[in-house]
Amino acid sequence: MKIVIAPDKFKGNMTAPEVCGIVKRAFLKHLPDAEIVTLPMADGGEGTVDAVISATGGALHSIVVQGPMGEKVTAKYGTFRTSDGRLTGVMEMASASGLALVPPEKRNILKASTYGTGEVIKALLDMGVSEIVIGIGGSATNDGGAGMAQALSFHLLDKEGRELTPGGGELIHLAKIDASEADKRLANVKFRVACDVTNPLLGENGAAAVYGPQKGADSHSIPILEAGLTRLAEVWKSDGMLEDVTEAGDGAAGGLGAGLRAFCKAEKVSGAHLVMDVLEYEKHLQGSDLVILGEGCTDSQTDSGKICSEAAKTAKKHHVPALLLSGALLGSPETFAETFDCAFSTSTGGHKNIEETLSAGKKDLYFTALNIAALVKLMQK
């Protein structure tokens, strides 16, 4: 019997690799001869680096870079070999330029920069990667990737020929992008961006208007950020770097979605499908009898492109039953039945509060998986 264990993290409780280990241990207790493949999953956001490196046997690295407000932070990234031997890098922009890195009292959206994200990209280029997979959720920035570009030796100049200082608030002064000294290695590396946000760069659904307030922008700063991104888009167009900034996801991560297209010729794809592709999920489904998926909480958002839902739909294409283990089933049972062949909540009840529930999370997951494995063994008989 071949079983694929492919869960997302249980947010705030267990990483995806930890979930894999617990479920595998439970199933091997009752099915010691089963072939079990563990594929920690992610959707391109937090946990993507850990999941990909755990599943591929790659290497984790860290580097001290410039954080969103100019402070020093340690960013994590990874490298792994694909099945055809290519060295690929995987990173999360939030590790270098994320909102969680900045205490609320120190946030200044007008000055927040993606420079550190560019430094991580440069470190991967130094390692000789042929492809970079980047998740762009959780940003603290609204600079359209300007800081990232400066770290990669693009020069963003005002009308006096002076380099712009960090932050989206300065982009209104942009007159020219000088790419003469930009890192030449960018042309030989494929960039794939995990992005499930559909917002364009500008306008009422754009980066500044929709996501600026989450990062500290107010009625004074939002028009400044919008004007700066508008100016950046004008220069991109006039320099032939982009034809437009209305593509779905251009507004992601404060305009980094568009910035990665302009400066790195990146391709944006669904985060869930990108991770499944990188991990060769469909290849592992071949010959499988069961795939076990998992997440911390299942609700109405699960079926809107989340990794468990997309992995279940892909499994059905290969006629492999998909079983969901969830910390909490909060959505419609009818919806669960449409997406998954069966779904179980791992919470055993009796916990007084969320702290107790989280504390018992690993034990409850093992207990639930152990019972399901026992049932599978009985069905075999």
Assess whether 33 and 74 both reside in one domain: no
Write out pLDDT tens, residues 325-380: 999 888 777 778 889 999 999 988 777 788 888 888 999 999 999 999 999 999 88
Domain with 367, as residue range(s), is: 2-41+280-380
Q: Which two tokens stand for residue 300?
A: 């109405």
Q: Residue 282: is its pLDDT beyond 90?
A: yes
Assess whether 23 and 146 both reside in one domain: no
Write out pLDDT tens, residues 245-278: 999 999 999 999 999 999 999 999 988 999 999 9
Assess whether 34 and 52 both reside in one domain: no
Mean pLDDT of 133-148: 96
Write out pLDDT tens, residues 39-77: 999 988 888 999 999 999 999 999 999 999 999 999 999
Assess whether 206 and 302 both reside in one domain: no
**Predicted local distance difference test score (pLDDT) of residue 304:** 67
Q: Residue 35: is its pLDDT beyond 80?
A: yes
Tell me the C-alpha distance between 16 and 356, whole Å.
20
Assess whether 61 and 186 both reside in one domain: yes
Assess whether 180 and 326 both reside in one domain: no
Assess whether 171 and 23 both reside in one domain: no
Arithmetic mean of pLDDT over the chain: 94
Q: How many domains, the chain?
A: 2
Last residue of a domain, one of 243, 271, 299: 271
Last residue of a domain, one of 271, 288, 316: 271
pTM score, two decimals?
A: 0.88
**Predicted local distance difference test score (pLDDT) of residue 57:** 93
Assess whether 95 and 195 both reside in one domain: yes
Assess whether 192 and 337 both reside in one domain: no
Q: Which two tokens stand for residue 317?
A: 């294409």
Cβ-proximal residues to 7 (8 Å cutoff; 6+ apart), any chain: 16, 19, 20, 23, 40, 41, 292, 293, 294, 295, 308, 325
**Predicted local distance difference test score (pLDDT) of residue 99:** 95
CATH code for the domain in which residue 27 is found: 3.40.50.10350
CATH code for the domain in which residue 179 is found: 3.90.1510.10
Assess whether 71 and 130 both reside in one domain: yes
Last residue of a domain, one of 215, 245, 271: 271
Assess whether 338 and 259 both reside in one domain: no
The neighbour count for residue 93, using CB atoms within 10 Å, is 31
Assess whether 86 and 17 both reside in one domain: no
Mean pLDDT of 198-222: 94
**Predicted local distance difference test score (pLDDT) of residue 3:** 98
Mean pLDDT of 11-40: 95
Distances (CA, A) of 117 to 108, 120, 127, 191, 375: 18, 5, 16, 13, 47
